[in-house]
Amino acid sequence: MTVNLLDYDREGLTQYLSDIGEKPFRARQLLKWIHQSGTADFAGMSDLAKSLRGKLSSVARIEAPRVMRDHVSADGTRKWLLSVGEQNGIESVFIPEANRGTLCVSSQVGCALACTFCSTGRQGFNRNLSVAEIIGQLWLANNALRESAAENPMVSGQNGQDQRAVTNVVMMGMGEPLANFENVVTALNLMLDDHAYGLSRRRVTVSTSGLIPALDRLRERCPVALAVSLHAPNNALRDVLVPINKKYPLKELMAACRRYLTAAPRDFITFEYVMLAGVNDSMMHAKELIGLVKDVPCKFNLIPFNGFPNSGFERSSSETIRVFRDILMQADIVTTVRKTRGDDIAAACGQLAGQVRDKTRRTINVNAKQAVMETMR
């Protein structure tokens, strides 16, 4: 059985090479070939000793998830459905913008947190992704974008954005990243390593629904930019929309956010807030939010709800979102409204579903909005 070298960060690769009798410095060379050049063939790694290339060819491999489907949206957003075995598929999304290219990366096959407005949460949960399956999404995306650029040197996104490489990574795809902590941190190490992808901590974002013990560990082990899926200003509503809130309520979550800021590469937390018509989008909700985050340096990213079959929810109107944004901004809270990208190929926020053989055998009430409204009476 060969080992997949995509599973190793620099420390792990150094140890592996030592175990097979090779010098530690070879790890840096291998990282550059694998992650910077996107090479999967050991024979092409010209600065490695021929004997090492032969040895690696017999005991190791470089294998990312297999591409099942590759969709490109009218706005340039690109979504890959990737096979991770046993009839399971995950989705990754590349979003080209004027000054950057952002890859949305998945961390699990499905999700166990069951947020009621999220398509991924409706699929149930199968398993955590391996390091190779997480970092393999970035490896594949960079290779695919380089190939596209080689075939058409003039290829560009909106406003002329070059699509040759990923400049930003957001762990906002399928799954809760902090529920797959060790594998996610190893993948983050590779994203940040100058011998691999060399991304800055400010350009790598982990999004969490609020697993507080793991959030504290991330602060200690690998503090990158942080986004928190908030979606409600009080516990009663968030208990239904984001059920993990029952275990880690808002007061504890806000305290964890303040702790995280002591090590974070940015001086604020981003709070993500999906705008659900008649559920969490009133002026009262906006004013509650102001009180909730008064001691947490933050910005808000308001996300127009992206529908999916039988969701039970509707998107707040543009006017409602504008009023909500203005209330927050009048309280000196930086607030943006996320531009919906890739919704014509179901690549927008909350729409990623992949292909999940649910091991949780979860039964979800598809009339989620009714359940929410019951809590508000």
Residues 222-258: tens digit of each pLDDT: 999 999 999 999 999 999 999 999 999 999 999 999 9
- Rounded mean pLDDT, 142-164: 68
The residue among 366, 365, 368, 356 whose CA lies nearest residue 111 is: 356
Terminal Cα distance for the chain, rounded: 59
Q: Tell me the residue range of the domain where 51 lies.
A: 3-61
For position 371, what pLDDT does the model report? 58
Same domain? For 212 and 87 the reply is yes
Q: In whole angstroms, give the CA distance from residue 262 to residue 12.
A: 28
Q: Write the Ramachandran bin of 101: left for phi over 0, alpha for psi from -120 to 50, otherwise beta.
A: beta
Radius of gyration of the chain (CA): 21
Tens-digit pLDDT profile for residues 178-201: 999 999 999 999 999 999 999 999
Q: In whole angstroms, give the CA distance from residue 26 to residue 55.
A: 13
Active-site residue, 118 included: no
For position 343, what pLDDT does the model report? 62
Same domain? For 272 and 347 the reply is yes
Which residue's entry shows tokens 């999004």? 207
Percent of the chain with pLDDT over 90: 76
Same domain? For 52 and 150 the reply is no
Which residue's entry shows tokens 């990737």? 82
Question: At 375, is the pLDDT very low, low, confident or very high (cuts 50, 70, 90)?
Answer: low
- Rounded mean pLDDT, 99-110: 94
| CATH code: domain of residue 353 | 3.20.20.70
Same domain? For 12 and 81 the reply is no
End-of-domain residue from the set 44, 61, 78: 61
Same domain? For 56 and 71 the reply is no
DSSP code for 207: E
For position 152, what pLDDT does the model report? 74
Same domain? For 91 and 226 the reply is yes
State the Cα angle at 75 between 74 and 80, rounded to 5°.
Answer: 80
Which one of 104, 118, 298, 349 is the catalytic residue? Answer: 349
Averaging pLDDT over each range in 43-47, 145-149, 353-357, which range is the top one? 43-47
Q: Residue 241 has which token pair?
A: 């929309």
The residue among 7, 13, 4, 46 whose CA lies nearest residue 31 is: 13
Q: In whole angstroms, give the CA distance from residue 266 to residue 268.
A: 6
Number of domains making up the chain: 2
Residue 158 has pLDDT above 50, yes or no: no
End-of-domain residue from the set 61, 82, 98: 61
Same domain? For 224 and 369 the reply is yes
The residue among 377, 89, 375 whose CA lies nearest residue 243 is: 375
Letter string b/e over residues 323-360, b meaning 16 or more CB atoms within 10 A of that residue's CB: ebbebbeeeebebebbebbbbebbbbbbbbbbbbeeee
Which one of 11, 22, 91, 314 is the catalytic residue? Answer: 91
End-of-domain residue from the set 61, 80, 102: 61
For position 361, what pLDDT does the model report? 57
Question: At 322, is the pLDDT very low, low, confident or very high (cuts 50, 70, 90)?
Answer: very high
Same domain? For 46 and 82 the reply is no
Same domain? For 276 and 347 the reply is yes
Same domain? For 326 and 261 the reply is yes
For position 145, what pLDDT does the model report? 93
For position 348, what pLDDT does the model report? 52
pTM of the predicted protein model: 0.90
Q: Parallel, antiparallel, or unpaired for β 108-110 and 125-128?
A: antiparallel
Q: In whole angstroms, give the CA distance from residue 122 to residue 113.
A: 9
H/E stretch holding 67: strand 66-72
| CATH code: domain of residue 42 | 1.10.150.530
Same domain? For 363 and 220 the reply is yes
Q: In whole angstroms, give the CA distance from residue 35 to residue 46.
A: 15
Active-site residue, 22 included: no
Same domain? For 41 and 70 the reply is no
Residue 159 has pLDDT above 70, yes or no: no
For position 98, what pLDDT does the model report? 82
